[in-house]
Structure 1
Amino acid sequence: MKTKESALKILEILRGEIYSDKIIVDYRMNKADFSRTRKQPFGDMLLFMFNFLRKSLPIEIDNFVNFINLSKVSFKIQNFTKSAFVQKRRKINPDVFKHLSEIIIKNTYIPSNLSIKRFNGLRILAVDGSKITLPFTQELKLFFGESKNQYETSIVQAMSSVLYDVLNHLAIDSVLENIKTGERDLALKHKSHWKQNDLIIYDRGYPSYDFKYEHIKAGIDYLIRVKKNHSKLVSSFVGSKKRTQIVDIKPQEKHIFTGKEYDKNTKIRVRLVRVDLPNGEVEVLMTSLLDSQIYPASMFKELYFLRWGVETFYDELKNKLKVEFFTGYSKITIQQDFFCAIFISNLQSVIVNGLEEEMKVMNENTKLDYKINTNLSYGFLKNRILELLIKEAPLESVFKELENLFLRNTIPIRKNRNNKREVGKYNKRIRPRVLKNQKDAI
C-alpha cells in the first residue's frame, strides 16, 4: 500500500468512527449522557475540539459555526454557545482522543503498508518525559501537584511521557500524570504498546536494573545512555578505551527484592558502547543488542541520535500546537486538551507521510533535500481538519488542497548543523515560548 492510499484509508476510518453510536457508548462519562438527540451531538463536539482551540472560546465557536454552516454539508449547527460547550464537554471521556490515536496507529502498522520506516528491521521508538505547565487552580494542584520555577514561585505542572516512533513521527502512546511521578514509572506505563522487533531508546534518567529487567522479560530491546560513573563496570569500560564490551550486571547491594522475580545473583547481559563526540566528550550507551555482526559499534552514534525525534515532538507539542494554552481549568479539560493535541499531531503525521513520494520527486532536482514546514502545516489544518473528518465532505479534494499547500511550503534540511548548548542560560529569566524567527501559525 502506498503512503497516500494509507493516509486516505485512515481518514475514512476516522470519519466513520467519530459519528458512530459505539464511540458514544464507549466514551461518555455516564450512561445517560448523549442518550437523546441534542443540538450539539457527540461527533460535533469532537470536531470542534479538533479545530485548534487557541483563541477565546466565543471566537472559536463563531468561527466553527460559520464554517460548518457555509460548507456543503446537509446538517447545520444552531445555538452552539460557550455555556453549552462547557456543559457538554464534561460528558466526554478524555480517553476518546487516545482511542482515535490508537485507530491511526492500528491502521498504520499493518503488513500491507510497505511505507513504514524501520532501522535494520527494527521499529525505532523513543521515550521521554516533559513537564506541562497548567493553570493554577486548587483542583489541578491537588491532582497533578505543584513545583517551583526559577523564581521559587509555586506553579502547577503535570508530568507527561510519550512513546514515540521517531522514523514515522507517530506518538504510539502518551500519559499525563502527577508531577512527582518518576520518568521510569511513566515509561513502564507504555508496556502494553511494546511489540516484537521494537527498539526503545532512552536518555540518562532511565537506567536501573529493574527497568532493564522489565524489557528483557518482555523480549524488547533497548538502548540507554548512561553516565560514565553509572557503575564500576561502566567506569572500568571507559578507562579501557574499548569501543564495545559485553558485561554481566547484577542488582546493587541496597536493591529491594520484595515482590521481584529475581534475586541478588540474577545477571543481565548487556553491551556497552563508547561514542566519541566531535568536542572530545565521551558518551556511553548500554544496550541489549549484543550481536556485533548485525549491530556494529559504528552504527550506535547514528542510532542514538534518532532519539532527538522525541525532543522535536515536544517542541511541536508546546511551541507549534501550543498544548499549554488550555481551554479550561478542570482536570477533565486538561486531559481532553492534552490527548486531543496528541491526536492532531498524529493526524498531521499521517498526512505528511502520505506526501513522501511527492517529496522524493521534488528533491531529485534540488541541491538540498526539503521537508514539509511543520509549523505552517498546522496552520493550514485549521478549519480544513473539519472537512477532512466530516463524513459528507469530499475527502480526496480536501486532501489534494492540503497536499498542494504543504508541498508549496517546504523548508531545506541542513545537515550537520551544530548549535552550542548553553547550560544554565535561562536560570535568571523567562524562557521564550517560540524561537525568535518563528511566527505563530495557529
Structure 2
Amino acid sequence: MIYGEAFKNQSRKSEKDFTRNRKIRFVPLICMLLRMIRKSTQLELDEFREIFLPESAETTSYTKQSFSEARQKLSPIAFTLLNDEIIRGFYADDDFKTYKGFRLLAIDGSVMEIPNTKEMQQTYGYIRNYKEGFKAARARSSHLFDLENKIAISTCLTRYDDNERNLAKQNIEKLLSFEQSHIPNLILFDRGYPSADFILYLQEKGLKYVMRSQHCFYKEVENTTSLDEAVRIEVTKERAKALKRQGTPIKKGTVLEVRVLKVELPTGEIEILLTNLGVDELSHEESKSLYFKRWGIETRFNELKHKFEIENFSGEKPILIEQDFYATVFLSNIASIFEQEAEAELQEKNKGKTLKYEEYRINKNILIGKLRNRLIHMILEEDARKKDILYERFLKELQRNIVPVRKNRAFKRDKQSRANRYAKSKRRSL
C-alpha cells in the first residue's frame, strides 16, 4: 500500500506535491516519521540515511530545512490510512481473540501535552495551572481500543475542551464504517460517559455496552435495592426540557431500558455498572472481572506516553503534531501485532516445559526499541522473500527477550498535573 499511487494521492496536501524527484521522496518521508523522531532532527536524518540509504548518503545530504518543507506537504491522514489498512487485514478472517463471543472494546480519552506556543493554545486549547495567568497548551485524544487484541481501531486528536461523548461517537462511526464481522461488539466505558442521549445512541447502533456510572445518574438507578436489577428510565417532560437545554434533545416518552449492577471494590466502595447485556450474556459474578479489563486501555495510554513518547513531538505546528501523533498510534499497533505473534509462538514452544514462572511475555521496551529500525528495513525491502525472512528473524529475536508475568499486582494511578514532560529547547543528542 505504501508504494501505491492511490495512497500517495490521498496523503499529500496538494496534487502537485511529491511529483518531482526531490531529495526527500514520499516513501522515505513516511519511513522517517514512523521511525519516531525523538532526538535532534538533523541527527535523526543523518542516522536514517546512513542506515537505510547508505549510497545516497555519500553523494547527497538531507537538511533539517528540506525535511521540514517536505513534511508540510504530507497530510496526517497518511498514517490513519495505513492504520485502517492493518485494521482491515487484522479482522478480515475473524481469527482474533474475543470475550464470550464478543469483540471486547473500550473507549476513553486522554489529555495530551503539546508544545506550549500561542498557535497551539489557539488551535487545541489550554489549561491554567497554579500560577496566575499561566496557560499550558493541551489537546485531547480519544481512542477506541480492542482490549483482547491490543489494537487501536480508531483514534482522534482534537481540542482539549471537546466533548468526550462526541469523540466516542466519532470513533464508533469509524468502527462501523469497516466491513462488519458477524462477531458482535461490546464496549466498556468509564463513568464520564453515561448520559441519556449516549445510551440511546448505543442502543440505536445495536451496540452492547458496560459503563461505570455515578449513583445519582438517574433516580431509577439511585433507587435500586438489589445487586442486579433492570430499570426503565423514562424521558419525562421535565427531563426532555433539561436535555434540550443541554443540546442533547430526546423525545418525551422515550424509554431507556438499562440493567444496573452493583459490585464491591477492594476498598469496600460500591461500583455501579450500567449495561444492556442480558443475564444469559453476563452474570453478576462476571461483571466485576469484565469491567476490570477496561484497565487495558489505561495501560495503552501509559505505553504511548512513556514507552513510545507520543508527547515528545518533533515540531510545533498542528500538521506536525498530528503527523507524530497518528504515526505513533500506527506504530503502537504494529508493535502489538508483533508482540502477539511472538508470544503465541513462545507459548507453543513452552508447552510441557517446567518453568520458574507460569507465564512469560515479550519485553516491550526491547520490542519498541528495535521496531523503529526493523520495520523500516521491511518496508524498504522490495523482495517479498527477503521481506518474509526479515519478519521471521524479528519474531525470533523478540522471543529471546522475555520477562515473567507477575500477577495480582496493583499500582496507584498518578493523575497530578505537572509541566510538560518534554521541552522543545532540549532535543536529545543521544
Q: Distance in 1 between matches of 2:84 and 2:409?
A: 35
Q: Which runs of 5+ in 2 are unaligned?
A: 423-427
Q: 2:104 aligns with which of 124, 145, 152?
A: 124
Give the 3-state SS of the residue equivalent to 1:417 in structure 2. Answer: coil
Q: 1:282 aligns with which of 264, 270, 276?
A: 270
Normalising by structure 1, we get a TM-score of 0.86
Give the corresponding residue for 1:249. Answer: 233
Going from structure 1 to structure 2, the CA distance change for 1:328 and 1:431 (only over 3 Å counts) comes to closer
* Residues 69 and 76 in structure 1, CA contact (< 8 A), matched pair in contact too: no
Answer yes or no: is 1:32 the counterpart of 2:16: yes
Q: Which of 91-100 and 373-382 deviates more? A: 373-382
Q: Which of 308-317 and 370-379 deviates more? A: 370-379
Q: Which of 304-313 and 390-399 deviates more? A: 390-399
Q: 1:93 aligns with which of 65, 68, 75?
A: 75
Q: Deviations over 1:126-155 (max 9, x none)?
A: 011111111122221111011123556310
Q: 1:406 aligns with which of 362, 380, 398?
A: 398
Q: Distance in 1 between matches of 2:166 and 2:227?
A: 31
Give the 3-state SS of the residue equivalent to 1:247 in structure 2. Answer: strand
Q: Distance in 2 between matches of 1:77 and 1:194?
A: 46
Report how many aligned residue pairs link the two structures.
408
* Residues 147 and 155 in structure 1, CA contact (< 8 A), matched pair in contact too: yes
Going from structure 1 to structure 2, the CA distance change for 1:199 and 1:151 (only over 3 Å counts) comes to farther
Give the corresponding residue for 2:88. Answer: 106
Q: Distance in 2 between matches of 1:257 and 1:220?
A: 27
Q: Distance in 1 between matches of 2:247 and 2:368?
A: 47
Answer yes or no: is 1:350 the counterpart of 2:328: no
Give the corresponding residue for 1:7. Answer: none
Answer yes or no: is 1:56 the counterpart of 2:43: no
> Pairwise mapping of residues 218-237 of structure 1 onto structure 2 (< 5 A)?
218-237=205-224
Give the 3-state SS of the residue equivalent to 2:215 in structure 1. Answer: coil
Q: Distance in 2 between matches of 1:357 and 1:84?
A: 43
Give the corresponding residue for 2:158. Answer: 177
Give the corresponding residue for 1:80. Answer: 62
Give the corresponding residue for 1:329. Answer: 316
Going from structure 1 to structure 2, the CA distance change for 1:361 and 1:303 (only over 3 Å counts) comes to same
Q: Distance in 1 between matches of 2:59 and 2:332?
A: 27
C-alpha displacement at 1:337, in angstroms? 0.4
One-letter identity of the residue aligned with 1:342? V
Q: Distance in 2 between matches of 1:43 and 1:246?
A: 55
Q: Which of 271-280 and 116-125 deviates more? A: 271-280
Give the corresponding residue for 2:168. Answer: 187
Q: Distance in 2 between matches of 1:301 and 1:384?
A: 40
C-alpha displacement at 1:419, in angstroms? 3.2
Q: Distance in 2 between matches of 1:141 and 1:279?
A: 39
One-letter identity of the residue aligned with 1:193? K
One-letter identity of the residue aligned with 1:19? Y
Q: Distance in 1 between matches of 2:382 and 2:207?
A: 43
Give the corresponding residue for 1:292. Answer: 279
Going from structure 1 to structure 2, the CA distance change for 1:417 and 1:267 (only over 3 Å counts) comes to same
C-alpha displacement at 1:363, in angstroms? 4.5
Give the corresponding residue for 2:53. Answer: 69
Q: Deviations over 1:148-169 (max 9, x none)?
A: 2355631001010000001101
Q: Deviations over 1:161-215 (max 9, x none)?
A: 0000011011100111111101111111112233461111100000000011111
Q: Distance in 2 between matches of 1:121 and 1:318?
A: 32
Q: Distance in 2 between matches of 1:147 and 1:411?
A: 39
Going from structure 1 to structure 2, the CA distance change for 1:126 and 1:151 (only over 3 Å counts) comes to farther
C-alpha displacement at 1:362, in angstroms? 4.6
One-letter identity of the residue aligned with 2:270? V
* Residues 69 and 77 in structure 1, CA contact (< 8 A), matched pair in contact too: no
Give the 3-state SS of the residue equivalent to 2:243 in structure 1. Answer: coil
- Which structure has more relative contact order (CA 8 Å, sep 6+)? It is 1
Going from structure 1 to structure 2, the CA distance change for 1:44 and 1:271 (only over 3 Å counts) comes to same
Give the corresponding residue for 1:136. Answer: 116
Q: Distance in 2 between matches of 1:260 and 1:232?
A: 19
Q: Distance in 2 between matches of 1:223 and 1:275?
A: 13
C-alpha displacement at 1:223, in angstroms? 0.9
C-alpha displacement at 1:78, in angstroms? 3.2
One-letter identity of the residue aligned with 2:254? T
Give the 3-state SS of the residue equivalent to 2:187 in structure 1. Answer: strand
Q: Distance in 2 between matches of 1:53 and 1:199?
A: 36
Going from structure 1 to structure 2, the CA distance change for 1:421 and 1:56 (only over 3 Å counts) comes to closer
Q: 1:206 aligns with which of 188, 193, 196?
A: 193
Q: 2:359 aligns with which of 366, 369, 373?
A: 369
Normalising by structure 2, we get a TM-score of 0.89
Q: Deviations over 1:188-247 (max 9, x none)?
A: 11122334611111000000000111111111111110012222222222xx2x221111
Give the corresponding residue for 2:425. Answer: none
Q: Distance in 1 between matches of 2:69 and 2:266?
A: 57
Q: Distance in 1 between matches of 2:318 and 2:3?
A: 25
State, as a whole percentage, how many aligned pairs show the same letter: 33
Going from structure 1 to structure 2, the CA distance change for 1:206 and 1:327 (only over 3 Å counts) comes to same
Q: Distance in 1 between matches of 2:88 and 2:81?
A: 10
